Structure 1
Amino acid sequence: MFAQLGTTVFDGQKSFVSFNNEQEAIIVEHALIGRRAQLQGAAIGLRNINLTIFLHQEYCKVSQEIEKLRKSLNTFEILPLLWGNGKIEGEFVIQSLSVTNQDMDALGNIIAAEVSLSLKENVSDDRVNQQEQEAKQNAFAVGDKKPPTKSNRINPEKCNAKVSNIISEIKSHAYQVDVHSLRYSSTPNDNSVILKCLSIIFSGCQKLMDASNDTTSCIYQTSVGPSAVKVQSRAKIMADDVKANQADYLNPFPNISGIKADNYNLQTEVRVLQSSANGIIQSSIVKK
């Protein structure tokens, strides 16, 4: 695998034609009476990634791939970008999508197309709060001075943001499971990583299930709860199969096909969970 954006895996000829990563510093200019203006670094801007993908019917279903990306655009879906070496580039939202049909058959079916995507970085509240605290500590007006009083009041995390973060964590670890399952050979490393990720997925689903039974929760009696139950069930089944392989590591014929089937079922249910919470996730990104 070369890279993975959301649930779209890039490998072989299905890869990036171009990739551009942009980021800028937000600088404020302060006007001073009788003196030259001074600059102050305010923040680091969100990254913008522009990439181009070439799709051909020989190695993928072009129309389905385009439709999947367009659906992510329309639902403001948060898409983790993961490289084949395991490095996570970050989380992004598709800002624009452009499709150029390069070849079509006599019936109008797309044979080959070039897809250009513009991605905008998404930063979770926890990271934003951490950056804000670091900025306050280094601010010119504060320096190394300590405030005279300290409040113990903590602003609670909003329900939609909390649900979005839990699902994002489930998706991220599901992607790791997917990466190791695609090349699964029942090695101790594969088994260890997959079991760790499945444990986190299981725990995240339990949090969603508990919240869906809480009358004060934003996902009370929504489809998120039942979807989380199915993901948790698939995670448990896969964990049991991995443990069976782990216990019989010297077996020359480990149940590799079973693990791949388990992974397919898990990824399917994770996508359903993501879809069931799209409205909640969207509200956590867009401030109304």
Structure 2
Amino acid sequence: MYAQLGTNIFENLKSFTDYYRGSGVTYAEQPLIDDKPDLQFTGANLDELSLRMRLHVTFCNPEKELQSLKDSMNNGEVLPLLYGNGKLAGSFVITDIRERIEDVDGVGNVFSYLVDVELKEYVAKDKLQSQQAENRKNATAVGNKKPVAQKKNNPSTCATTISGIITKVKNHSDAINGTVLLGGGSLTTEGKFETSSHLTAIKLLCQDLIKRTGDSSSCAYGSDGLSGSAESTLSASDSFTASLPVMQPDIILQKNSDLVSAVADLKRNGQSFLTSSILRK
């Protein structure tokens, strides 16, 4: 995940293409007789963010994603902005959304939006009240009062990690498949770049998976089926990458089909890990 704005998650190709953050302060002017006014520092202004993002049918549902942002704006939701590295950039409200249609078919089905979102920082008015509420939530029991129940977070397991890798490979493959089928095997310059990016990600994920099957401390150790299907997916990815400079639709369609088949086999061989991750074993 690259970032999360409220419940809106941005990852892989669905991320910010432009990001601007403005900060400032305010000074009050004190008029003086027969002299220039004095300036008095009064405090910091609210930060403002300008985000641009591309919502394309190859990696998301553009209409659904755009409507989610509009709902957050129209409902006055306060949205925390959290990055994938765990850094909290603050809380914001959406003040303006501008959309531009980039790609649409003859009957009005939109394939791609370019969306500009304006946000303004939101600061809690009563910090003392917020702090007291947080203290009550984390307090130990006093007298006959019980502490607020805390949600238990299960630790990540080896099976969860393997399952996550396989799921990411499948997601990248689905994105490629959507791009290829949308153009009937013909790739635009942007489509070629996106496909190449997804193939690179698949290659790195498969290499990681193969490494784990050879690690005696991993739950995937000795899983020949998983290792073999990961190697087949890696080979299909490399072959697809090598065919991109040629840009022949029939070859692109065949390489895409080979990759889809290899990933389906990878998912079958990893089904036990997917099941274990759900059961938290």
TM (norm. structure 1) is 0.47
* TM-score, length-scaled by structure 2: 0.48
Q: Could you say which structure has the larger radius of gyration? A: 2
